[in-house]
């Protein structure tokens, strides 16, 4: 812990420092807090965007008369050298990779709206990001081993799982809980700051296990609200899951529609649940948004070069840094290796649950046990995450196919052969970003035609198949004779 007036300045490296959303938000929030003597380093492979973001940050620093500094680097190792905090906001492959994540599955019949956390898009985004994240962790371990790594890169759970229990203190941060609490406050009429809650699960699929206001349960009112069309229409997917499983989730209707097999598997489901324009559930919403951002970036519309410090956002990262620097406790939701935080999820998976930041670092809080139905839904996503992480770390094309094959949405739409073909096409299209798969391809398994009249191989049958075969023979005899065979005594078959 340092005091606010400490002589040593705080050094923060932002890897992916050209992120127009995260970079501006996080720098502004950090400088609006108690820790203003900050040296920022913005790192990306090129300076096309980081130079613009640095100019924006310098304008803010001058306007507010702060002692902070900003520098730009293209070398990751130099960027993290001696850093106190490292913030990851990178997106490997950018718009072109995002288009591949969406367009190829769509040609095969898998309809995604975001595609950054699960589904074929999330699985391949993990393949691009995990090697970069693990190299970043190795650089931190060597060059600034006491630094805290704050990860904002999706797919959050897969990346944090891949980083595992290594020597680098790592936590993944998302704003799903904060945004969901805003919605719950609106639905119930209770001020957000007065809502007492416990949330636990996995990233983008955590559950509000407790919602209270001054000791009273808010769930009966929230359930009653979602039986009315004016509330249900706001969030059909999350509302429908809430009605059937009993717990409100921390992720938006758009994201959630991709993580389960119910809502995007056919045109009827899409019409029923994903038909609200500008809700994020529409087909290809993330690609459309990314293209818009790219156009506005080229036109210079996204960066205001006359910034001032405003009201801090709800992002956790800046407040975690302030808590560690000042010693004041801060409670938040973090993504870390389970280690028993949630007892009925695998101990080695990445979970999202309650944590505390203070002058001694980051601390997990035991959340306990999820309701069985909630844990079951989480496990369908954890299975995909495990296989995708194995594929990324080992460069194993078969694990990549298996991850796609157990994905809830993909498996609701495609056969195994179709999934293999889709994954192979995606791997070939993205090889420039996937060095771990160099020289390795997804095997082609052609269909096996069965000619008419093929005699089955003579093999031992298990008892149930033997019974079925015997009944088939009896039916054939009956069909030839036109009479019903006599009923045998019990146990004769």
Per-residue pLDDT tens, the chain, 493 aa: give them: 444 444 468 999 999 998 888 889 999 999 998 777 999 999 999 999 999 999 999 999 999 999 999 999 999 999 999 999 999 999 999 999 999 999 999 999 999 999 999 999 999 999 999 999 999 999 999 999 999 999 999 999 999 999 987 889 999 999 999 999 999 999 999 999 999 999 999 999 999 999 999 999 999 999 999 999 999 998 999 999 999 999 999 988 899 999 999 999 999 999 999 987 667 889 999 999 999 888 887 766 677 777 788 888 999 999 999 999 999 999 999 999 999 999 999 999 999 999 999 999 999 999 999 999 999 999 999 999 999 999 999 999 999 999 999 999 999 999 999 999 999 999 999 999 999 999 999 999 988 999 999 998 988 877 776 666 666 655 555 555 555 444 444 444 3
CB 87 within 8 A of CB 53: no
pLDDT at 217: 97
pLDDT for position 468: 65
**Structural contact between residues 352 and 200, judged by C-beta atoms closer than 8 angstroms:** yes
State yes or no: is 247 an active-site residue: no
**Strand, coil or helix: what is 197?**
strand
Q: What is the pLDDT of residue 5?
A: 43
Q: Is the dihedral of CA 363, 385, 128, 282 positive or negative?
A: negative
Catalytic entry in 259, 262, 273, 316: 259
Question: pTM score, two decimals?
Answer: 0.91
CA nearest to 42, candidates 51, 34, 33: 51
- Structure confidence at residue 311 (pLDDT): 86
273 is catalytic: no
**In this predicted structure, what is the pLDDT of residue 486?**
47
Name every residue whose Cβ is closer than 8 Å to that of residue 274 and which is 6 or more positions away in sequence: 113, 236, 237, 257, 263, 264, 281, 282, 283
Classified as helix, coil or strand, 450 is coil
Could you tell me what percentage of the chain is helix, strand and coil, using 3-state DSSP and rounding each to the nearest 5?
45, 15, 40
* 281 φ, ψ (degrees, to nearest 5): -85, -10
pLDDT the model gives residue 108? 97
Is the backbone of residue 462 left (phi > 0), alpha (psi -120 to 50) or beta? beta
Query: In angstroms, rounded to a whole number, what is the distance separating the alpha carbons of residues 493 and 476?
Result: 16
The pLDDT value given to residue 489? 44
> What is the CATH number that goes with domain 95-116+174-306+324-462?
3.90.1820.10
Q: Give the β-pairing of 10-15 and 38-43.
A: parallel
Specify the pLDDT at position 493: 39
Neighbouring residues of 298: CB distance < 8 A, sequence distance ≥ 6? none
The predicted pLDDT at position 4 comes to 42
């Amino acid at each position: 812990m340092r005091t606010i007036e400490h002589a040593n300045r705080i050094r923060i490296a932002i890897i992916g420092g050209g992120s127009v959303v995260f970079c501006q938000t996080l720098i502004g929030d950090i400088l609006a807090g108690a820790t203003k003597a900050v040296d920022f380093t913005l790192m990306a492979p090129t300076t096309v965007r980081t130079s613009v973001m640095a100019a924006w940050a310098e304008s803010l620093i001058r306007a507010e008369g702060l002692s902070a500094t900003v520098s730009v680097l293209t070398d990751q190792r130099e960027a993290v050298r001696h850093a106190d905090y490292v913030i990851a906001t990178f997106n490997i492959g950018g718009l072109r990779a995002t288009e591949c994540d969406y367009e190829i599955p769509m040609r095969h019949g898998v309809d995604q709206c975001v595609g950054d956390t699960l589904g074929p898009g999330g699985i391949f985004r993990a393949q691009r990001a995990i090697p970069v994240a693990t190299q970043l962790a190795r650089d931190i371990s060597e060059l600034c081993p006491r630094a805290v790594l704050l990860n904002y890169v999706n797919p959050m759970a897969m990346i944090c799982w891949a980083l595992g229990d290594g020597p680098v203190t790592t936590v993944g941060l998302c704003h799903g809980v904060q945004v969901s609490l805003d919605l719950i406050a609106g639905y119930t009429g209770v001020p957000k700051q007065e809502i007492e809650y416990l949330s636990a699960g996995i990233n983008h699929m955590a559950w509000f296990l407790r919602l209270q206001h001054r000791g009273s349960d808010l769930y009966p009112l929230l359930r009653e609200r979602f039986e009315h069309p004016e509330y249900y229409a706001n969030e059909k997917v999350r509302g429908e899951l809430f009605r059937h499983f009993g717990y409100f989730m921390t992720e938006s209707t758009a994201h959630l529609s991709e993580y389960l097999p119910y809502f995007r598997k056919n045109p009827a489901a899409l019409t029923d649940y994903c038909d609200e324009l500008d809700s994020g559930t529409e087909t290809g919403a993330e690609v459309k948004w990314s293209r818009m951002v790219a156009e506005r970036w080229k036109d210079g519309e996204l960066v205001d070069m006359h910034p001032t410090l405003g009201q801090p956002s709800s992002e956790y990262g800046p407040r975690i840094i302030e808590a560690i620097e000042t010693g004041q406790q801060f409670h938040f939701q973090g993504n870390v290796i389970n280690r028993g935080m949630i007892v009925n999820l695998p101990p080695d998976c990445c979970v999202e649950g309650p944590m505390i930041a203070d002058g001694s670092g980051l601390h997990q809080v035991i959340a306990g046990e999820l309701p069985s139905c909630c844990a079951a839904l989480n496990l369908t996503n954890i299975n995909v995450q495990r296989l995708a992480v194995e594929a990324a770390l080992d460069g194993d094309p078969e694990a990549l196919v298996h991850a796609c094959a157990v994905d809830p949405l993909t498996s609701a739409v495609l056969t195994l052969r179709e999934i293999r073909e889709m994954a192979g096409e995606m791997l070939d299209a993205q090889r420039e970003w996937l060095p771990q798969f160099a020289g390795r391809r997804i095997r082609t398994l052609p269909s096996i035609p069965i000619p008419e009249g093929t005699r089955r191989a003579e093999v031992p049958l298990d008892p149930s198949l033997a019974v079925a075969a015997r009944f088939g023979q009896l039916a054939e005899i009956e069909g030839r004779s036109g009479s019903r065979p006599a009923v045998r005594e019990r146990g004769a078959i």
